[in-house]
């Protein structure tokens, strides 16, 4: 029996394929269901914020204070996903997609008005309003439509094309970034341009696993989000974590694969430490490719974010460390340009581990992992 199963005989390939297809379909359906509930809920939150602001001049005057207080209270009760920017997105979402007019017969059918039932105010505050709209796209789609377009016609164009072509979030973002709307308007053959634009690229595809792990979905469900992109990265990160802790008592581990959002884009930092003597966060980003200017710029962006959102009042500005695990030579580079003065930069350089020491450890670890056969394909792919 084991031989039959190991060779794929006796219909095993068929049953395995059917189960995989079933699970993938179930994950996609689950992601769509959560997104539908999430989008409707965020629209309702936006409605309540807008209606509260419109309740009088005094309320409208402290709209920002309202968002800050709501953010603090909701985050304490429900976890991530309710920052001031997120609540502002919900508010904009409602303003961009106001309630659709409904007829009296539709209200009667909805059962919203029943003799002897709860008062209208109670029903209105505890359930979706009769004017709640249906949203066929995901919340992430709408975030890109609201934040990424500059006019109502442009937004409506991308929304219609996303619905018509079944665009993934990646395809929508790519089309907005490439100014597909403007190019379509200027094109002499608009039909051909639209047909060409509807063809997805390989990079546009979203797997069922990625759909269910959408950061917005994870935030809505208050689930943890930790992952590593490859075996090699995972092994290197764990070894670097141990290595830095072994250097002495200066480094304190804070987190791994720490997620952050800048604008409407999501990023992750591989390792986050706190250096006790310097009293600053140390952000470590591991690359399997050659160091380039984009990597340096991204690290400065991480440091700026950490300084604003993760650094406590009595702490010094964070420092970044970029590590590149190339086959020919490992590279370690500190990002110190964002520090307020050269004196502090010199102090950081004196106290932090020497870059050559880190390069040697990274190179040694990479070779050991290659001997064990861990992640060799990942490393070669990055060359």
The region, left, alpha or beta by phi > 0 then psi within -120 to 50, assigned to residue 10 is: left
Helices H, strands E: what count in the chain?
19, 5
CATH number of 231-381: 3.40.1350.10
In 3D, which of 178, 165, 164, 170 has the Cα closest to residue 141?
170
Instruction: List, as one string, the DSSP characters of 46-73.
Output: HHHHHHHHTT-HHHHHTHHHHHHHHHHH
What pLDDT is stored for residue 65 in this prediction?
Answer: 83
Q: Where are the alpha helices (DSSP H) in 79-179?
A: 84-96, 104-110, 120-126, 139-148, 152-165, 169-177
The pair phi, psi for residue 268, each rounded to 5°, is -135, 140
Helix axes 84-96, 139-148, angle to 10 degrees: 80
Q: Please tell me the predicted confidence (pLDDT) of residue 159.
A: 92
pLDDT of residue 101: 65
CA 306 to the chain's CA centroid: 16
Q: Which residues of the chain have pLDDT under 50?
A: 105-127, 130, 226-229, 327, 374-383
Express each pLDDT in 270-281 by its tens digit.
888 898 888 899
Q: Where in the chain is the domain with CATH 3.40.1350.10?
A: 231-381
> Could you read off the pLDDT of 196-229 as tens digits, one per residue?
766 666 665 666 666 656 666 666 766 655 444 4
pLDDT of residue 96: 93
Residue 154 CA to residue 133 CA, distance in Å, equals 21
Q: Residue 74 has which token pair?
A: 């909701």
């Amino acid at each position: 029996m084991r031989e039959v199963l190991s060779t794929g005989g006796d219909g095993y390939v068929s049953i395995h394929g059917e189960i995989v297809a079933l699970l993938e379909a179930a994950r996609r359906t689950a992601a769509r269901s959560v997104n539908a509930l999430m989008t409707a809920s965020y629209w309702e939150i936006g409605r309540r914020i807008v209606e509260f602001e419109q309740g009088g001049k005094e309320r409208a005057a402290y709209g920002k204070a309202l968002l800050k207080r709501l953010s603090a209270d909701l985050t304490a009760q429900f976890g991530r996903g309710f920052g001031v920017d997120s609540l502002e997105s919900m508010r904009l979402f409602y303003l961009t997609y106001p309630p659709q007019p409904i007829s009296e017969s539709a209200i009667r059918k909805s059962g919203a008005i029943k003799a002897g039932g709860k008062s209208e105010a109670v029903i209105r505050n505890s359930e979706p309003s009769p004017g709640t709209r249906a949203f066929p796209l995901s919340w992430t789609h709408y975030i890109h439509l609201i934040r990424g377009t500059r006019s109502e016609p442009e937004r409506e164009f991308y929304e219609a094309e996303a619905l018509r072509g079944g665009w993934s979030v990646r395809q929508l973002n790519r089309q907005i970034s490439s100014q597909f709307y403007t190019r379509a308007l200027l094109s002499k053959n608009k039909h051909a341009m639209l047909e060409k634009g509807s063809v997805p690229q390989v990079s546009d595809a979203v797997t069922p696993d990625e759909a269910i792990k959408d950061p917005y979905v994870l935030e809505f469900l208050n689930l943890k989000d930790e992952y590593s992109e490859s075996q090699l990265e995972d092994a290197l990160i764990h070894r670097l974590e141990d290595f830095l802790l072994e250097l002495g008592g200066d480094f304190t581990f804070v987190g791994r694969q720490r997620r952050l959002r800048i604008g409407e884009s999501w990023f992750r930092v591989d390792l986050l430490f706190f250096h006790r003597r310097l009293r600053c966060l140390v952000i470590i980003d591991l690359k399997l490719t050659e160091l380039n200017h984009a990597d340096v710029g991204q690290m400065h962006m991480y440091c700026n974010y950490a300084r604003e959102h993760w650094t406590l009042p009595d702490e010094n500005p964070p420092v970044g460390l970029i590590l590149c695990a190339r086959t020919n030579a490992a590279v370690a580079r500190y990002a110190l340009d964002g520090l307020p003065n050269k004196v502090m930069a010199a102090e950081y350089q004196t106290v932090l581990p020497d870059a050559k020491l880190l390069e040697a450890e990274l190179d040694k670890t990479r070779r050991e992992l290659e001997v064990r056969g861990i992640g060799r394909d990942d490393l070669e792919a990055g060359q």
